[in-house]
């Protein structure tokens, strides 16, 4: 498996095995939460390193590629565990939008920072410690838009580009997966508003380097952090926080 772990299908299978072995309690909390208060699953990077070192390194090196695969694996793990239960659907429900959150990155200066990251860190998964100096209002963000091809009748989605402030580009041709691409340029939004788009809550906060960790005379820098879904309204000005996420 280790020789092929970079393959997305193999990686996703390994992720599901990890979640079922190390995060069973968290998956049960997702399934049996009836108030939608539990919408994320935390994974410990140290445990992932213990389970499969190569998979952990791929996640650190290419988080934008492998974090979405972890979300898919989380969905598969929920469905697998639900099949093993005998309770009704009203009590045990699969959370389609559950997000995997990475915690406890290795204590290495390249991964855990007290200084604001620079342009050379774009695309990396890092933990940043700082003080919240501003919190914005909670707003709604469109994560993707679904289109229907008028030629092949297939359906495909276009994701928002985080680097472009969540702008969703208009597709130039049909993106329906399959061996035969129709390459049509005629497509329309999905029939219903519920199917055509998906919105989530988000909030922008600004964190600043902690003055006590800087050398004398250094001016503290700040960075904007975007919180999504269940992370909104979790921090207020003056809080000392550690944020783990992808630099964009």
Q: Reduce the DSSP state of residue 33 to 3 states and report it.
A: coil
Kindly give the residue spans of alpha helices, DSSP state H, lying in the chain: 8-22, 24-32, 45-51, 53-61, 63-83, 193-196
Name 155's bridge partners: 148
Average model confidence (pLDDT) for the chain? 86
C-alpha distances in Å from residue 144, one per residue of 63, 71, 148, 171, 197: 19, 16, 14, 12, 6
pLDDT tens per residue across span 8-30? 888 899 999 999 999 999 999 99
Confidence at 1, pLDDT banded by 50, 70, 90: very low
Q: CA 166 from chain center: how many Å?
A: 14
Question: CB 127: neighbour CB atoms within 10 A?
Answer: 19
Q: Taking the alpha carbons of 139, 62, 111, 73 in that order, is the dihedral positive or negative?
A: positive
- pLDDT per position as a tens digit, 205-235: 999 998 888 888 888 999 999 998 889 999 9
Q: Give the C-alpha separation, 119 to 186, whole Å.
A: 38
Residue 41 clears pLDDT 60, i.e. is over it: yes
Q: What mean pLDDT do residues 178-205 have?
A: 74
Task: Tell whether pTM > 0.95.
Answer: no
Q: pLDDT tens for residues 72-130?
A: 999 999 999 988 887 777 788 888 888 999 999 999 989 998 889 988 988 899 999 99
In whole angstroms, what separates CA 26 from the centre of its chain?
16
């Amino acid at each position: 498996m280790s020789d092929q772990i970079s393959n997305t299908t193999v990686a996703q299978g390994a992720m599901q095995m990890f979640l079922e072995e190390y995060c069973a309690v968290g998956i049960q909390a997702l399934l049996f939460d009836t108030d939608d208060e539990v919408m994320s699953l935390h994974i410990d990077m140290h445990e992932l390193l213990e389970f499969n070192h190569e998979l952990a390194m791929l996640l650190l090196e290419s988080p934008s590629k492998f974090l979405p695969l972890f979300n898919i694996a989380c969905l598969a793990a929920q469905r697998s565990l639900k099949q093993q239960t005998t309770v009704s659907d009203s009590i045990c429900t699969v959370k389609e939008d559950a997000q995997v959150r990475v915690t406890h990155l290795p204590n290495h200066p390249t991964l855990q920072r007290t200084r604001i990251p620079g342009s050379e860190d774009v695309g990396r998964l890092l933990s940043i410690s700082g003080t919240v100096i501003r919190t914005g209002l909670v707003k709604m963000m469109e994560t993707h838009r679904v289109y229907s091809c008028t030629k092949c009748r297939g359906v495909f989605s276009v994701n928002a580009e985080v680097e472009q402030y969540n702008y969703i580009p208009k597709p130039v041709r049909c993106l329906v997966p399959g061996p035969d691409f129709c390459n049509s340029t005629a497509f329309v939004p999905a029939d219903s508003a519920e199917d055509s788009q998906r919105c989530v809550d988000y909030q922008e906060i600004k964190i600043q380097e902690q003055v006590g960790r800087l050398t004398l005379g250094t001016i503290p820098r700040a960075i904007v952090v975007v919180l999504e879904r269940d992370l909104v309204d979790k921090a207020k000005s003056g809080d000392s926080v550690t944020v783990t996420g992808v630099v964009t």
